[in-house]
Amino acid sequence: MMKSAVASSIRSASLALAAIALGACTTSAVARLPNVNEPNIASIAKLQLAVGTATIAEPGGTTEIGLNLVTTFRIPGGNDATFQNTPLLIGPMTFVSNAVNSNPMTLSGILPTELASLATSTKGGYPDAVLEFGATVGAFGYGLAGDNTVSPTAYHKVYKNLGCGDIGGTPALISTSPGGPSAPGYNTARSQEIALPALAKGTGCGPQGTFVNPLPKVSYYGGPPAWPSPQGYGLPTFFRGFPLGFTDFASTPVAGTYQLYVTFTTALDYSTWATMQASASLPASAVTSPLAVFAQPVLTVQSDGSGIINVTVPAGVSEAVINVTANDCLLASQRPPNNYSLFTKTTGAQTLFLSSHLGPPDQNGNPTHTFCTVADVTAAEAVSPPGSIFPSTGNYTLTAVGFDYPAFEASYPQSTSIAPVITSARGTADVTTSNPVNAPYTFGTGT
């Protein structure tokens, strides 16, 4: 989720270079609250909220209907309104079914000052909000994400004691000593989408939704060819991909009004605050007529590093994104996996193609393979110490999301509007997600 300080660069092809400017905005003092916002944001920002149903396919062929939430929080030019904010979601439904939450019809976060107080408190015990939106989840330019800047020492103290993170995930270094401003996970720039569906059972400690079955969770990042490549050789790797903007919850939705409150500081010393509010209605007709289930797509990896995907987009979906997360093929660099996305506005059965060189560029500026080949292993071994052995197999995760609203058009860098359209003609934002495929593949013989 890109921050406002580098927004103009984000809209260009130099996405990873823009990250350098953003990383320089963090404080060098790890023992105090980071400088995160600018005064007068409340006077120019626009907060939007849309809700709808989420048809969530589960292992074994079952399906449950959850809530989908879409928010945009932008300033003129389309940039993220703040580096950090604290959301509160109130609805007519029960979000949380287990005893963690004393108010199951709300999901809330904690202010950075509250996190600092908890880190020094000797009373013991933490409020529900610490494990809900918690310290890391905020409302950004397109969706909720675990991208808040937080005090590294305070975060480490509170969440290490808890043994888990909030629903935004667990930033790095939770089990080690606090790092400085260059360490990942705290007051440095990062791109951490929420693993969805949020509140799914079977994912460790924290609040759980009302769904009966445990669910696999996926963090969705938009990548090439639908979105520009987010990374390049030797450039910052915190930006993993573009947000798809949706957040589905593993809780059964109820018709009625949903309210999102977003609180943020308006002073660098945290002496003044502002709260903005947006609301959205979920009609009973939407609850009773969700989108059809999205069947699992099928991926065939080709020997030259390309991939063929067969997919059937269900009726009622106006556009769909098929996502693949796979090994980075610069094997010697130990980079995180790459994210690839295909976009279609056609319903029904179709065959889509991932070309062979969608990976981030190497040290010579040449794109790397989408799926790794034998040639990649040979190249990695050639520049590594004698005796180094590299794997000949990789893994991929394959998912599909269908929307009935212009989700792609509202995403970066397609939209730089302060208020993009995030609802369908009936005023809701409905999604349908396939059950993720996690599978190995053998590196091919291509070049």
Q: What is the pLDDT of residue 15?
A: 28
Q: Report the interhelical angle of 152-162 vs 112-120 (nearest 10°).
A: 60
Q: What is the pTM of this model?
A: 0.89
Per-residue pLDDT band at 177 (split at 50, 70, 90): very low
Give 309 or 173, the one with higher predicted confidence: 309
The DSSP symbol for 53 reads E
Tell me how far apart the alpha carbons of residues 302 and 159 are, in angstroms, rounded to a whole number.
43
Q: How far apart are the first and last CA of the chain?
A: 34
As a whole number of angstroms, the distance between CA 337 and CA 132 comes to 27
- At 268-298, the pLDDT tens digits run 888 889 999 999 999 999 999 999 999 999 9
For 291, residues 6+ apart whose C-beta sits below 8 A from its C-beta are 53, 55, 314, 316, 317, 402, 404, 430, 431, 432
Mean predicted confidence (pLDDT) in 317-324 = 98
Q: Report pLDDT digits (tens) over 136-149.
A: 999 999 999 998 88
Determine the Cα–Cα distance for residues 396 and 300; give it in Å rounded to an integer: 11
**How buried is 296 (Cβ within 10 angstroms: 0-12 exposed, 13-18 middle, 19+ buried)?**
middle
Q: Per 3-state DSSP, what percentage of the chain is helix, strand, and coil (rounded to 5)?
A: 15, 30, 55
Average pLDDT for 353-368: 92
Kindly state the tokens that stand for 178.
Answer: 């606090």
